[in-house]
Amino acid sequence: DRLMPRWVHAVWRAGGERWRAPRGMAVFAGWWSGVRQWRRAARFARAVRAATRRHGPWDIVIATDIFALAAGLAAGGPGSFRVYDATEIPDLRQRTAPALRQIPAPVRWVFRQWEHAYVRDAGLVLATSHALARYLRRRYRRHGTAPVLAVRNAASDNRDGLPAAPAPGLRARLGLP
């Protein structure tokens, strides 16, 4: 799985935080990071595809990041319910990690194709905030009819610090059997 020789990793680690890539090397860092993520996603998808062949398609498939969408496509069958739980912005150019922002367009295109295919088959897209839900609605308006919902991660507490009365479960609120 190594894309760079061991001596390059050793030099990189030896320099610590002070060592910076020479001018012009950022392009290669983007390619390296992108191809590395691509290979990891493909390897994960192959493992999930093998498990799916052994055990049959999954009933519910939940992918939580753009890098997991290929595995989500491999896990589902014709009757599977797919959910995209978008915990981060799927556009790699807007991520906080510099190596992800520098992934070149040809590599980003592969992730974008996986995203289109997954969202087209998804029954539901979840977002962690209303702003992200609006962003995803604009991004996916042409690619599918899946509803985009903003959900909270935790229930609110009442004044006594005890959990509030149990709300209807997520399955009941979404109308799932």
- Report whether pLDDT(163) > 60: no
Two tokens at 69?
């969408």
Q: State pTM to two decimals.
A: 0.66
Residue found by looking up tokens 């509030």 in the block: 164
What Cα–Cα distance (Å) separates residue 86 from each residue in 41, 102, 133?
Answer: 16, 21, 9
Region 159-168: mean pLDDT is 57
Cβ–Cβ < 8 Å for 42, 69: no
What are the pLDDT digits (tens) for 4-44?
556 555 555 554 444 455 566 655 777 888 888 889 999 99
